[in-house]
Structure 1
Amino acid sequence: MSPNSPFAFVDDALDRADALRDDPDALAQRWPGARVLLLDDDARAVADDRGALLAPEGATLGGGPGTATFLGLRNDGTAWFSQRLATTAFDAPGRLDLRSAAAQWPAFDSTVFAQARAMQHWHDRHKFCGACGGEIAFVRAGWLGRCARCGSEHYPRTDQAIIVAVSDGQRLLLGRQRAWPARRWSVIAGFVEPGESLEQTVAREVMEETGVRVRASRYVASQPWAFPGSLMLGFLADGEPDVPQAGDELEDVRWFDAATIRAGLARDWMVPPGEDEEGIGLSPPISIARWLIETWLATVTS
């Protein structure tokens, strides 16, 4: 992560260079000097033997862009593509998943990886037309799916989700999922439904998952979250001091005072306390969830 951003996948993003998507000749000319991020079928990126990003040049891979997805241009003019490792003869020394990469790689490397991973996920799940069942062919350098049977056009999908730090003024509302490590807690999140404003989503999701009523909310920041293809829309909210009750999606939900939150942030996030220990573990530094917690804590006077 970069010190310029409070969370991952935001800093040093590529210029998407939309006009080049319709210019296969220009992309072919850029291919030899382009950098190509290779992903395996589990959406892990090729890495060198030290775990750093290994993005060979197009000239090394040979051929042309073909089925590669054009990601955009870096500020030095270098074109970046992503391609399936299985479609190449490249010998991959190592591979790294996106969560690990976000914690270890420079901001640019993890940001471009997140973009490539989200696009591969969309391609994997949109091979057939939702209107007629025909096979989808990807055009515009990977950014448009066109049905070979009915001609319907399909565009990359991003699922919008709110993520919110709810406070009653002195306490923060946190929940935990059953699959998380013991004593790991985080802020409340949920997907936006059709015909719903973001503020309505905040109020509905908090009520459904915790039983707490939201009085007001305000948007503060967003984070692309390629797990597998979401955009997290961050809010701070004022909630009633209701007794929280976990809904179907959470194992538990509670109010926590500032001292407990402060101690949780001071812990090593990778080692949450065990069941027989005091304190709580909180979200990892790569996430907007942790930044929302820190942002709330900075507003508390005691």
Structure 2
Amino acid sequence: MSEPSKNISELLREVDKVVKAGNLDQATKLIENILEINPKNIYARAYSERVSALINEKKEKEGSSASQPSPKQHVQAAPTLPEEKKSEPVPTVLHRKLSDAILEAYKKLLDEVWIDGHITPFEQERINAMQTFFAVSKDEHDYLEQNARMTCYLNAIKNGWNKGLRDFAGLKGQFQLTDDEELILQPKVDRLIKSLNSKGVILALDDDEHFLLLIEMLLKKNGYHSLTTTSGEEALTLLEHFSPDLVLCDIAFGHQNMNGFMFYEKFRSIERFASTPFIFISALNQKELFRTGKKLGVDDYLTKPIDNDLLLAAVEGRLRRVREMQRTIDI
């Protein structure tokens, strides 16, 4: 572990201690120290949200206590009907949607501990501590942990395949998959195996289904495996289980909530896709759009109608460049 990472881990443990001791101001200062070391640390952002919520709860309680009548004041209580029963307070945590920062941090932790299919006692302690600290309900935890197990299972197949393995029967028990989960995952496993036998996996986004079909046929004919979708939201769901080698993305998605630029930013915010080649496709040959894309850091642009040879050359060139860079890193 690098020195900055070690310092952050120690500071996060200290945050846990001071929060349990009720010193929220000290916790805030510690979180600020973490963000100075790494402004993008997702655990720090999640802790910051949770501590802020605890501070607000504390202020509300103090305000509520201050508004209560003093013992000297006589307040007549409203009569209680004998047949009525006082209802128990309903826990709000079960009905609360986790914030994006907390959700991201909790998912990252689960992905880390399930990466090899074995959870150590220390890792289980980390999960329990974070679940308690962020008030993650059992239902929320079970759902997120199931996703983590299934995602790590698929990643284990991919890693094993790249090492020459072809028998993955033992992984079911390793990742504690139920029969139903295995059945749900089978189509994804089949698709993954097909992609591993290809020259590369290409994710294509466009609201024109006919155009997507043409792209899929072209890529398949030339040895690539494609994942196609008509929306950015659906693409993000695909990314939970698949890691494309390159993305082809239309800029405009009709009247949908997420356009190409918005999807690009969300895609790049996912750590494992920080350097994945990304090519914009547009029927709009506008300098404004090209300039915006360049500012964002897009790798390339293609305009419709697409020239097949140009598209294949762009895909092959970008993938070759990434692989050459990877070989350099490995050396």
TM-score, normalised relative to structure 2: 0.26
Rg (Cα) greater in structure: 2
Instruction: Point out which structure has higher relative CO (alpha carbons under 8 A, 6+ apart).
Output: 1
Structure with more helix by fraction: 2
TM-score, normalised relative to structure 1: 0.28
Structure with more strand by fraction: 1
